[in-house]
Amino acid sequence: MEIIKTISEMQKAADDNRRQGKIIGLVPTMGYLHEGHLHLLRLLRPQCDVLVISIFVNPIQFAPTEDLDKYPRDFGRDEQLCRSEKVDVIFYPDVQVMYPPPFHTFITVEKLSEGLCGASRPGHFRGVATVVAKLFHIVKPHLAIFGEKDYQQLMVIKQMVKDLNFDITILSAPIVREADGLAMSSRNKYLNPAERKAAPLLYQSLLTAKKLCQQGCDDPVEIKKHLGELLQKIPQGRIDYISIVDPHTLTPVDKIQGEVLVALAVYIGQTRLIDNMVIGR
């Protein structure tokens, strides 16, 4: 396994591999790897010859008030996990390597970036789209995989790839959860024991939405009311949003007819957790 820290070396390795006809697969991450990330590696491993993971905590997707400085990092542990998953290359650049000043070019994916997390984290998806576009130019993958845990991110990246004609196939993977239903996330590390105990309520509320829908409720307002009541039980909890949207356009629906995406963001103490589920009638 190689660890590459510069753009020129990464691009050269990509060019060499492409010249030899090898298929390059990329898993972009911010590190502090957990089973959710490993699942992406395992899905992509058999589909490519060269498996690349990028580990980069991308400063431009964090607002000044957010958790950039305290975002968990443990490269030694990540490296061991990557070795056991038969990763070929870890691309592990510094911030100065990715954003040498001056840096003035950003990608905005309109519409899909505007609601849900985009509304409460202005500029977040601009930062995500920009870094992913850079990673695509640096790693030159044929395939890249993203988790449905970050559903809106996945949609934004798919739209960017389509609109800007990146010659890359975007794959996706279902949400990997802890035994009690909590979606795995590097940020779960922030939760204290009481917060951790309450956190599965996000998943339970999504299951409640599914059940209500199966029982014939087609009114998003009513479902959101139920979910709000459930999520209010979280001690030190604060609901950022509960949304029921079209799974393709991410715009709110008035009535549940086909499939819809139920998406949540909830603060537990200082920690903002997200989760989602596609449900349908």
Binding site for ligand AMP (CB under 6 A): 29-30, 36-37, 39-40, 146-147, 149-150, 173, 175-176, 183-186
Nearest CB to ligand AMP, comparing residues 29 and 243:
29
Residue 248: active-site member = no
Shortest distance, position 173 Cβ to ligand AMP, whole Å: 5
Query: Nearest to residue 244, comparing CAs of 200, 279, 273?
Result: 279
Shortest distance, position 210 Cβ to ligand AMP, whole Å: 18
Shortest distance, position 62 Cβ to ligand AMP, whole Å: 11
Name the CA radius of gyration of the chain, rounded: 19
String of b and e for 227-247 (b: at least 16 CB within 10 Å)? beebbeebeebebbebbbbeb
- Which neighbouring-strand residues pair with 242? 264
3-state helix, strand, coil in the chain (%, to 5): 40, 20, 35
Q: Give the integer Cα–Cα distance in Å for 178 and 160.
A: 31
Nearest CB to ligand AMP, comparing residues 79 and 218:
79
Nearest CB to ligand AMP, comparing residues 161 and 176:
176
Q: Which of 37, 39, 124, 142 is catalytic?
A: 37
Contact between 216 and 210 under an 8 Å Cβ cutoff? The reply is no
What single DSSP character describes residue 183? B
Shortest distance, position 111 Cβ to ligand AMP, whole Å: 20
Catalytic residues: 37
